[in-house]
Structure 1
Amino acid sequence: MAAVAVTGQYRRGKTALFLIACCCAGAAPHWMESESSLWPVLILVFLLGSHGLRTVFLRDREQSLVKSNSSSFQLIDEKSLPNVDVLIAARDEEAVIERLVAHIASLSYPKEKISTWIIDDGSQDRTPLILEKLCLQHKNLHVIRRSSSAGGGKSGALNKALTKVHGDWLLILDADAQLQQDSLHRLVSYARAGGWSAVQLRKAVINASENHLTSFQAMEMAMDAVIQQGRLAGRGVVELRGNGQLLFRPVIDQCGGFNEDTVTDDLDLSFRLLISGALVGILWDPPVQEEGVGTIPGLWRQRQRWAEGGLQRFLDYWPLLMSNRLTFLQRWDLMCFFLLQYSLPIVSLFDLITSVVTRTMPVYWPLSIAAFSISGLAYWRGCRTISEGPELPSPDPFRLLMAIIYLGHWFVVIPWVTVRMAVFPKKLVWAKTNHHGQQTVQV
């Protein structure tokens, strides 16, 4: 398994070409005969919609496989447990860092086999002082300090830690993460039994009851896990989500570590692992619990970063993603996901603009309806699933409708970020999410 070459050049040009292609796709049907303009869209509805439905319902197969083979996922004997290094990149996390260290210290994992490494990435608040005090209390806690100008963002911080740690596995956590006492033991046992090179824990929002925005994010995380499990069951692609990801250290080294030329280390690493042939799994329970973003400006900043990093990886790795390194099912899954997640919002925008200019009806509405309907089904199935950790919001009709409307923010974020990427040069900065530490874990 060789390191995957990073092809992060010419992103502005690639983004501009993608934007132009979406513009043409959105406008072209309005100059076709009215009888035939809907046929290409209806074909896409059938192809992408059937794949989406298959993914949501295949999730049951993945769940049943885990249950039917539960005997093979029994907890590993403590003597056989591997060494694990817990890595946390932290900047200005005074509100949550002490709580995180307490959660890690309470894990039911042999103390001699776990080490915690916190990379203080130029914090300007009380984080360094708190870490100094915590180091005196926890002998397995190590602090690595970087200046705020060190560069590379979160990936640079994690790469710095890779030069110092020697464990068999890496557990990557955000500073606001909260775990159950047996989470690591169960996670390692699942990874070893399934032969996974990486495993992502389901993300659960701890402050779902704070307001409507955090409630919708809790539903969104459940929806995402349902889709991820379905993609896995359909032999498609499972992606890492940053917080709560367990990584086999030798595979990470062979992939070249973390890419410092990206704003989303987790999404980029997902493709590097995929291209390298590494197996990535997802575990519904136990979840990793984290804070949802409680304000619209905070959500806007977070989603811009996610959208930019998500699109970047397709632009960087598309020749390898279309090569024989991937199976047909993996390539098909990626193409469907790309068209629905990144192309559809931009195409729909230009479809709407052209319909106003030409005084014709929009054309792509059937595809948008199909995409939102599949998302609503995944919402419903995820929120009705028995889960550990915070109680998931009830998917009653009104809340389900509002959560679907909430997803419409991607139809604003994706076009805006794509235009920005095509016009302005990128300056890599760590646009972190602020954490407040107001909630505690539920077991």
Structure 2
Amino acid sequence: MVLAAYVLALVGALYLWGADPVLGWLAGALNLVFAVYFFRHLAFAVAAARWAEPDLLAAEVDPDGFLPSVAVLVSCKNEGLVVDGMVQALLTLDYPADRLTLLVVDDGSDDDTGARLDAWADRDRRLRVLHRAPGSGGGKSGALNDALATVDSEVVLIFDADHEPEASALRRLVRHFRDPSVGAVMGRCVIRNGHESSMATTVFVDFLSGYLVNEYGRQALFELPAYGGANCAVRTSTLRALGGWNPDTVTEDTDLTLRVLIAGQRIRYDLSAIDYEEAVVTAQRFWTQRYRWARGHQKCFRDYTWPILRARHLGVVEKVESVLFLLSYHVPVLCGIGLALTALRAFGIGGLPVVGLLPLSMLLFVGPLAELSVGLLVGRVERRAAWSLLGFLPAFVLSVWITSRAYLDGMLGRRYSWVKTSRTGATSTVSATPLTAGASR
């Protein structure tokens, strides 16, 4: 219905006022939106370039000996290719054994995931395994909620099945819960298989931008980073008060981010709490992953924009930034419209000459490019990896198509359920690939 209203409004405007003025006004509105996001990207890039490196190299972990009880939860569904590396990393986490619970959920796997987990549990009593029956439902949220019901720790820490945290990551994350206003904490994820394919290289650089620049900027300028869903900790009392993870969303992390914020608590971001994960290596897997992210993020915009705007404890700037965050998976849709207007103007339709497209074109690319470049610099990635920025041209076009398709499907009410990301079992030896050499301290 909403999509039909948009179409009818556009058709009516074109009929009443003609193509040139309507498309001209539309292009002007897009330029305004892109200008806002350009300055936002630029502000994040400047913040990261100026302040991120000292935080990245922070040596202290828990100078006051703050050690709340922690339950580490991992949901696994058909993860036989990566589960051994993940469990091995969990067992090397630097934390007192009497304050730590390691619980991995076999979410109805039909490969050897369950057998591998049971073998690890037999060898090391610190690991507990929870088996869910096939078809239990709820996706990752359902699996994590079942695990949450069995633990009584003060803090819950989440990793995905392909993640391998540094030994100090847990201590670095939980230290932020000294502050009673903090409901959740996110650490930094680094891609470990950046050389496996050109797509993996693109995702590696994308994560440098997202974690070294974008989230750091949101933390430094607004104290509004997101809860990222993995390598993330959440206060158990906060999580239970909010009803656990939402099984009706396919992006439980964004959903929880907004619910924590609306509840009046804060999220913190710790650059030095690092873990390594596997990037998708093909365009098809990139589509599957980013389509899910787009559908979930766009639904969160529809569900939470009004509650955020009504939240009395948030200031005007915080509300504006939160809405801009919620709109981030709508911007590529607008980019697609901008590209369509570009094509129309090239044929003399739209009221302004092609030279009028220059601000639009610049704003489409320069802001994100600044973030990507700063990510490479702060991450101390080898110079030849800068050529990987060229890979963002096809990735950008693909993202426009993915998010536009997700928006259309969402507006048409097409059903969609959680779909896991396929793995390749990439090597966990981070130092073996020079592309990631600058990412680890």
TM-score interval for Structure 1 and Structure 2 normalised by the shorter chain:
0.7 to 0.9
Q: CA offsets per residue over residues 133-178 of structure 1, 9 Å max, x none?
A: 1111121211112122111111111111111111111110001111
**CA shift for structure 1 position 112:** 1.6
Change (3 A) 1:74 1:135: closer
**CA shift for structure 1 position 369:** 2.9
Q: Is residue 423 from structure 1 mapped to residue 412 from structure 2 by the alignment? A: yes
Change (3 A) 1:154 1:240: same
Q: Is residue 253 from structure 1 mapped to residue 246 from structure 2 by the alignment? A: no
SS in 2 for 1:322: helix
Partner of 2:139: 153
TM-score normalised according to structure 1 size: 0.85
In the alignment of these two chains, the number of paired residues is 423
TM-score normalised according to structure 2 size: 0.85
Equivalent positions of 1:351-430 (< 5 A) are 352=340, 356=344, 359-360=348-349, 366-386=359-379, 392=381, 394=383, 398-428=387-417, 430=418
SS in 2 for 1:109: coil
Runs of 4 or more, structure 1, over 6 Å off, are 18-29, 33-37, 362-365
Equivalent positions of 1:217-256 (< 5 A) are 217-225=203-211, 226-235=213-222, 237-256=224-243
Partner of 1:3: none
**CA shift for structure 1 position 59:** 3.0
**CA shift for structure 1 position 55:** 2.6
Of residues 339-348 and 244-253 in structure 1, the stretch that sits farther from structure 2 once superposed is 339-348
Q: CA offsets per residue over residues 366-419 of structure 1, 9 Å max, x none?
A: 3353132111111111111147xxxx4647663323335423322111111111
1:345 corresponds to which of 313, 322, 333: 333
Higher relative contact order (CA 8 A, sep 6+): 1
SS in 2 for 1:286: strand
Letter aligned with residue 363 of structure 2: A
- Identical-residue share of aligned pairs (%): 24
Residue ranges of structure 2 left out of the alignment (5+ in a row): 431-439
Partner of 2:102: 116
Asked if 2 retains the 8 angstrom alpha-carbon contact of 1:84 and 1:167, the reply is yes
Partner of 2:75: 89
SS in 1 for 2:253: helix
Q: CA offsets per residue over residues 301-349 of structure 1, 9 Å max, x none?
A: 1111010001010111121022134321122113334555404524633
Asked if 2 retains the 8 angstrom alpha-carbon contact of 1:83 and 1:169, the reply is yes
Asked if 2 retains the 8 angstrom alpha-carbon contact of 1:62 and 1:229, the reply is no
Q: Is residue 274 from structure 1 mapped to residue 261 from structure 2 by the alignment? A: yes
**CA shift for structure 1 position 97:** 1.3
CA distance in 1, matches of 2:40, 2:196: 35
**CA shift for structure 1 position 223:** 0.5
CA distance in 2, matches of 1:107, 1:318: 38
Q: Is residue 299 from structure 1 mapped to residue 286 from structure 2 by the alignment? A: yes
Of residues 194-203 and 150-159 in structure 1, the stretch that sits farther from structure 2 once superposed is 194-203
CA distance in 1, matches of 2:13, 2:91: 54
Asked if 2 retains the 8 angstrom alpha-carbon contact of 1:222 and 1:379, the reply is yes
SS in 1 for 2:378: coil
SS in 2 for 1:118: strand
Q: CA offsets per residue over residues 69-116 of structure 1, 9 Å max, x none?
A: x69x542455x4111101001101111112211111111211121111
Q: CA offsets per residue over residues 202-235 of structure 1, 9 Å max, x none?
A: 1111000112111110100010120111112221
CA distance in 2, matches of 1:214, 1:321: 35
Equivalent positions of 1:50-69 (< 5 A) are 50-60=39-49, 63=52, 66=55
Q: RMSD of the alignment, in Å?
A: 3.3
Asked if 2 retains the 8 angstrom alpha-carbon contact of 1:199 and 1:282, the reply is yes
Partner of 2:435: none
Partner of 1:31: 20
**CA shift for structure 1 position 64:** 7.2
